[in-house]
Amino acid sequence: MADTKTISPKEGPGTQFWNWLTETQLWTSVFRHGRPDSDRNRVLVMLSNVFLHLHPVRIRKSGVKLRYTWCMGGLSFFLFLVLTFTGLLLMFYYRPTLEYAYSDIIGLREHVPLGIMREMHRWGAHAMVITVWLHMFRVFMTGSYKPPREFNWSVGVIMLVLTLLLSFTGYLLPWDQLAIWAITVGSNMARATPFLGYEGPGAQLLRLGDVPLIHAYDDARFALLGGSFVGEGALLRFYVLHCVGLPLGIAVLMAVHFWRVRKDGGISGPL
Amino acid sequence: MADDTKPEETPGPKIVPPTGEATKAAAASAPPTAAAHAAAKPAAPRPPAAPVPDLAGRTTSVASPGGAAAAAKPAPAAAKSTTRDADDSSPLLNRRAWMGLAWGAFSAASAAALAATGRFMFPNVLNEPPQQFKAGFPNEYGQGVDERWKEKFGIWIVRIADENVEPHGSGFYALFTICTHLGCTPNFLSAENKFKCPCHGSGYRTTGVNFEGPAPRPLERAKIGLSDDGQILVDKSRKFQYELGQWTDPDAFLKA
């Protein structure tokens, strides 16, 4: 860089400061390449940055057209970031216990400045479910699930399930009547899990003599709820899954997802 | 790649060890996969007869110096020798077997850790109301549905005072407060003398039989009897379902 710079005597103090700054060791360690004003520098900038390298260096013209992508994948990611940030803030006030959960939710609206934080989290969650579905619809309609993108489609399907599970686990946390009964109804589905739910197909086969191996106190529903009904165990488990387990899983898969978009040739072109 | 600061290597495996023992000595001083490479290193001119510390019985060279090692490596000087090096000649545990053992142990430990993690999700003690409870004396109950145990144990105790009611006559039965549709808790509407589920509108008679809404079958009954001290004893771990003909079981009804 230094050899391309020409020092002119008319440089003012601002320019001199800028020239000094951009030659410091700190600056050059952060900005390791010149301005991305040439093809080579663009590639270098993209490839030497852990965040940018997930993204293709070049994309098709159709890739930036709203009418082609609907930007639904990007919006889903944006909403995930919004939900991560607002959720983190909510965690400073919310306590997942029978004693405090409901009143903390009320307190998030009444006792905390910017009481819309919880609403942003809630509406963002609804929106993310919608955008993820629309993203899937777009990918389907543009045939972007076809080879070589089948693997990425599968990763996306898993992330769809994780998104729905995030929505499901978050639904219990307000601990109001709607939440408790919705999760009661929803978790009853786990009773019908094949082999692992005590009312599911095949569960009756798993027994030692007269002793059933799968019963109401050790089946899939029990593992989900941490009890035989939606109680304090379920609230805590859903909280941990909602705030740590599922976001961690979906974040890893998102990195894979974006990386695969790049490795599979960028955003798919029009058919 | 042009690393000209590195001292020039002795080209090729020119130093031919006189015996297999020397090959082993050279191999022991280098990574085992680089036996042929190590033979070319300047370390090779060490005295061929130098006693090599035996690696915990991994070779049999003590008993037959040069014999087994030489047999396992017929052409020690060959640069691209495809035979195993001397360290890999133990009849007890060669490298492949050792790797198999190591991977097997690792897999077993991982599986055990996974199983332990799964077991961790099932606590040994539950902070839940007991399945069995004493519900007071029969004369504390009036005619009809009693809701005193609904909140804590999820049970309605219903008393029938009339001797002539079919099929049991007078007595008690215990109904689970779990809607057979999707598991919500119905309310008892005393004015209409029925159970009504707030979730999806299923309705049940006080017998527990469903008559409206999406419920597919009647409420379940729990085992009911008398304890030694004369109190009503309810055991929720035994269920009686009408559609299976279980309500006629003597444990499903307390005659009194």
Q: Which of A179-188, B49-58, B81-90, B181-190 has the lowest mean pLDDT?
A: B49-58
Domain final position from B58, B90, B122 = B90
Residue at which a domain ends, from B90, B110, B141: B90
Percent of chain B with pLDDT over 90: 48
B228: pLDDT strictly greater than 90: yes
- Residues β-bridged to residue B175: B156, B221
Question: How many C-alpha atoms does B230 have within 13 Å on its Cβ side?
Answer: 4
Q: Determine, for residues A227 and B128 on separate chains, whether the beta-carbon distance falls below 8 Å.
A: yes
Q: A227 to chain B, minimum CA–CA distance in Å?
A: 7
Query: Is the pLDDT reported for residue B78 higher than 70?
Result: no
CB-based contact, A97 to chain B, within 8 Å: no
Q: Tell me whether residue B122 is in a domain.
A: no
> Residue B166 has what pLDDT?
72
User: Is B167 domain-assigned?
Assistant: yes
The whole-model pTM stands at: 0.73
Over 90: is that where the pLDDT of A248 sits?
yes
Together in a domain, B75 and B154: no
HEC readout, B128-167: CCCCEEECCCHHHCCCEEECCCHHHHCEEEEEECCCCCCC
Closest CA of chain B from A138, distance in Å: 34
Closest CB from A188, A222, A223 relative to B182? A188
- Which among B126, B127, B184 has CB closest to A185? B184
Contacts of A227 in chain B (CB under 8 A): 126-128
Residues of A within 8 A of B121 (CB-CB) are 223, 226
Return the residue of A nearest to B179 by Cα: A185
d(CA B33, CA B41): 14
Q: Give the integer Cα–Cα distance in Å for A7 and A38.
A: 23
State how far residue A16 is from chain B, nearest Cα, in angstroms.
Answer: 40
CB distance A79 to A152 below 8 Å: no
B122 and A CB contact within 8 Å:
yes
Q: Does A216 touch chain B (CB under 8 A)?
A: no
Do both B138 and B238 map to the same domain?
Answer: yes
Q: Is A213 on the interface with B (CB under 8 A)?
A: no
Residue A181: predicted pLDDT: 93
How near does any CA of chain B get to the CA of A196, in Å? 13
Q: Does residue B29 have a pLDDT over 50? A: no
- For A214-222, the CB contacts below 8 A with 24+ separation are A217/B126, A218/B122, A219/A190, A219/A191, A219/A193, A220/A190, A220/A191, A220/A193, A220/A196, A221/A187, A221/A188, A221/A190, A221/A191, A221/A193, A221/A197, A222/B122
Q: How many domains does chain B have?
A: 2
Distance from CA of A47 to the nearest CA of B (A): 22
CATH superfamily of A65-263: Cytochrome Bc1 Complex; Chain C (1.20.810.10)
**B55 and B164 share a domain?**
no
pLDDT, residue A126, reads 97
Q: What is the pLDDT of residue A196?
A: 92
Q: Predicted ipTM?
A: 0.70
b/e per residue B121-140 (b: at least 16 CB within 10 A): eeeeeeeebeeebebeebee
Burial class (CB in 10 A: 0-12, 13-18, 19+), A160: middle
Is any Cβ of chain A less than 8 angstroms from the Cβ of B115? no
Looking at residue A66, its pLDDT comes to 87
- A137 reaches B (C-beta below 8 A): no
Mean pLDDT of chain A, nearest integer: 91
Determine the distance from the C-alpha atom of residue A119 to the mean position of all C-alpha atoms in its chain, rounded to a whole number: 18
Name the average pLDDT for chain B. Answer: 76
What pLDDT, on the 0 to 100 scale, is given for residue B220? 95
pLDDT at residue number B108: 97
Give me the pLDDT at residue A255, please. Answer: 94
Q: Is the pLDDT of residue B81 over 90?
A: no
Whether residue B162 sits in one domain with residue B232: yes
Give the per-residue SS3 of B70-131: HHHCCCCCCCCCCCCCHHHHCCCCCHHHHHHHHHHHHHHHHHHHHHHHHHHCCCCCCCCCCC
B122 contacts in chain A (CB < 8 Å): 218, 222-223
- Partners of residue B199 in chain A, C-beta under 8 Å: 181, 185
Q: How confident is the model at residue A222 (pLDDT cuts 50, 70, 90)?
A: very high
B162 located within any domain? yes
Could you say which of A184, A217, A227 has the minimum Cβ distance to residue B184?
A184
User: Which of B199, B238, B244 is the best mutation test for A, with the most CBs of A within 10 A?
Assistant: B199
pLDDT tens digits, residue range B107-157? 999 999 999 988 888 988 888 889 999 999 999 999 999 999 999 999 999
Task: Name the β-bridge partners of B240.
Answer: B221
- Could you give the percent of chain B with pLDDT greater than 70? 65
Quick one: closest CA in B to A222, which residue? B122
Q: Mean pLDDT across the stretch A80-88?
A: 96
Best residue of A189, A213, A228 to probe chain B, by most B CBs closer than 10 Å: A228
Strand-pair partners of A208 = A211
Nearest CA-CA distance, residue B126 and chain A, Å:
7
Among A185, A188, A227, the residue with its CB nearest the CB of B126 is A227
User: Strand ranges (DSSP E) for A97-244?
Assistant: 207-208, 211-212
Between CA A65 and CA B128 the distance in angstroms is 57
Q: Which residue in A has a C-alpha nearest to residue B120's C-alpha? A: A223
Look at residue B47 and tell me whether its pLDDT is greater than 70.
no
A to B CB pairs, distance under 8 Å = 32
Residue identified by tokens 């023992």 is: B21
Q: Which two tokens stand for residue B93?
A: 């545990």
Residue of chain B whose alpha carbon sits nearest to that of A229 = B128
Q: Which residues of B touch A231 (CB under 8 A)?
A: 127-128
Residues B119, A224 contacting (CB under 8 angstroms): no
pLDDT surpassing 90 at residue B225: yes
B165 touches A: beta carbon within 8 Å: no
Chain B residues in contact with A232 by the CB 8 A cut-off are 127
The CATH number given to whatever domain includes residue B152 is: 2.102.10.10
CA distances from B69 to B3, B12, B22, B128, B198 (A): 36, 22, 10, 69, 84
Half-sphere exposure of A80 (CA within 13 A, CB side): 24
A216's tokens: 């109401």
Task: Check residue A3 and give its pLDDT.
Answer: 60
> Rounded to the nearest 5 degrees, what angle is found at the Cα of B214, between the Cα atoms of B211 and B217?
60
Task: Read off the pLDDT band of B44 (50, 70, 90).
Answer: very low
Q: Are A184 and A229 in contact (CB under 8 A)?
A: yes
- Return contacts of B62-65, CB within 8 angstroms, 24+ apart: B65/B19, B65/B21
Structural domain of B243: 132-255
- Contact between A23 and A2 under an 8 Å Cβ cutoff? The reply is yes
Across the interface, whether the CB atoms of A227 and B121 are under 8 A apart is answered no
Cβ atoms of A173 and A87 within 8 Å: the answer is no
A233 Cβ under 8 Å from any chain B Cβ: yes
Total residues found in chain A within this entry: 271
